[in-house]
Homo-oligomer: A and B are copies of this chain.
Amino acid sequence: MTIKVIEINTPSPYLVLSKHEKIPKVLTISNSAENENDIGTLTAHSVHTAVCTTALVAGTELLAVPEPIIKQNIQLGRNADVIKTGSLSVSNIMTVVKVAKNFKCLIIDGTVLSEESYEVMKRELTPISFLFVVDVAHLQKFNDTLKDVFELCLEKSVETNAANILAINCIQENTNASVLFQVDNQKFTVFRHDSRFTKVGCSSISTSIAANLANGYSLGGSVYGALEYVQNSQSICSEGAKDKVNFVHNIRVPLTAMVQDKCFKGNDLISPPKLVKDPTVTGDFLDYLNKHKYVAKHWDDYVNHDFVRQVAEGCLDLQQFKFYIEQDYLYLADYARLHCVSASKAPDLLDIEKELLVLSVIKRSMNCHKQRLHDYYGVVDENHMEKVQRSDALNKYTRYMGEMARRGNWRELIAALAPCMVGYCAAVAKYVGKTDPPKGSIYEDWTKFYSTLPLEESLAKGRYFLNHIARTCPENELERLIKIYGDVCALEAQFWDSPLAYKV
């Protein structure tokens, strides 16, 4: 018989700061199946739920709940910040009407109503609603243009007298949009979805809107948030589970955070992860990565990019190069921040010091860019860089790395930072001594910078960091690291695509 004593940790100091914040509440009125989904969705929005079940779903059957019980549960939840109704029968609607007084904010999901229920709803309940949601794909009147949707919104607004109308599933050929019509200022907002957006999980749109409103967001913001939330929930669910979207994608298991707490006392209770032992991985991780089947093509696209050839041969358009320099300057500013994060997450002080050296190289690169803009393009405005518009390629790239910095661990972040550290030398090296840019040109200046000492050091540091993360990599994390490294190689290639695509 053994006995072990462990102290349960105090709550996270950061959470304690929010101790006195009121948690908003949403009342959901629908059948049990929809309510069960809604509780999950509302919880995922950090909102408390009050529930009124109007019918119990059993397979394909519905077991009606007696009216007194429905009334009682609405009474209990009526002080909620937002009330949302789902699938209701005609008699359900009449029950709700009897107690629907002083609702703070009512959202009616019209996408799940039968025609019969809609007829009663539009007379009895929508006139006191803040938002009525309608599924346009269900309506035959819709003829493939947004103008038709606008007309339909106007029509629905007259029919329902709701304060605002949201039309979802406005499908046109390969696109899908949702349209919000704010009646009081006659404003239409069109939200364009990813082309793969489908109707799976769309009944959660109203629920997510309710949660966002309860959390104090504006109507426009709440609708945006709900549409992206549902779209993301579809995109992120694994291939095999198309029927069940991933509505918990933004939630982290609390225990996972506890384990990383400096004051966690239960380490003995958590089994340490198995580390990767394969010597082909841990021997030279850089080499392993660049040859890996997921990475190889992206690495090739990156280090054999036509942008570098055009620079080396001195035939790149000068304005396209200016575009590159400006975007790269902004990139480096972000990149510097990410190395700061990496330093903060690094396991030992030696890694931190190496990161500080990387920072000084980045700073030097930024100064060179400024100098080039001055010397070759006559830029004298001190605030020139602040006026440069960020390209999509830049935003996409720094978004990716920023995510690894904020949400990832040190290994994930290093995998994201490495391609930039190790790829430039490889890309430039093959031209050195073979194809030389014109003497005294900006291209010679740039090529020299990346073929001489500091960047060689970067390569060595990149290799050092990659080997360090390979040695400490849990087995179930290796695939993620490969994916990140490959993704970022692709982003590097796209970053060099952008000046070539830049129209002077």
Contacts and interface: CB of A to CB of B under 8 A. Distances in A.
Contacts of A17: 480, 483-484
B72 A51 contact: no
Contacts of A239: 20
A11 B222 contact: no
Contact of A408 (B14, B262, B487): B14
Interface stretch (A159-167, A245-253, A436-444, A457-465): A245-253
Contact of A398 (B39, B258, B262): B262
Interface string A408-441: 1000000000000000000000000000000000
Interface in A306-337: 333, 336-337
B3 A228 contact: no
Interface stretch (A80-88, A129-137, A211-219, A448-456): A211-219
Given A43-B40, A46-B253, A23 B56 contact: no
A263 interface: yes
A215 to B, nearest CB: 5
Contacts of A102: none
Interface in A11-68: 11-23, 32, 35-36, 39-40, 42-49, 51, 53, 56, 58-59, 61, 63, 65-66, 68
The count of identical subunits is: 2
A276 to B, nearest CB: 17
A134 B417 CA distance: 50
Interface in A449-504: 480, 483-484, 487
A346 B338 CA distance: 12
A377 interface: no
B11 A232 contact: yes
Interface string A227-259: 111011001111111001011111111110111
Contacts of A58: 68-69, 72-73
Contact of A72 (B59, B66, B197): B59
A139 interface: no
Contacts of A340: 340-341, 343-344, 352, 355
Interface stretch (A104-112, A119-127, A183-191, A283-291): A183-191
A146 to B, nearest CB: 8
B229 A254 contact: yes
A469 to B, nearest CB: 15
A232 B12 contact: yes
A10 B225 contact: no
The range of chain A's interface size is: 35 or more
A271 interface: yes
A16 B4 CA distance: 40
Contact of A188 (B2, B69, B208, B406): B2
A270 interface: yes
Contacts of A215: 253, 255
Given A20-B239, A337-B343, A483-B17, A254 B262 contact: no
A6 interface: yes
Given A65-B56, A248-B23, A404-B14, A8 B193 contact: yes
Given A15-B232, A19-B236, A218-B271, 11 more contacts: A3-B188, A15-B250, A19-B235, A20-B239, A39-B40, A43-B44, A43-B247, A63-B65, A229-B254, A229-B255, A250-B252
Interface of A: 1-23, 32, 35-36, 39-40, 42-49, 51, 53, 56, 58-59, 61, 63, 65-66, 68-69, 72-73, 76, 150, 185-194, 197, 208, 211-212, 215, 217-218, 220-225, 227-229, 231-232, 235-241, 244, 246-255, 257-259, 261-263, 266, 268-271, 333, 336-338, 340-341, 343-346, 349, 352, 355-356, 359, 395-396, 398-400, 402-408, 480, 483-484, 487
28 contacts: A3-B187, A5-B192, A6-B192, A9-B228, A15-B232, A17-B483, A19-B236, A22-B238, A36-B49, A36-B51, A43-B247, A45-B254, A47-B248, A53-B56, A58-B69, A58-B73, A63-B66, A221-B270, A224-B255, A224-B266, A250-B257, A262-B395, A336-B352, A340-B343, A340-B352, A341-B341, A344-B344, A344-B405
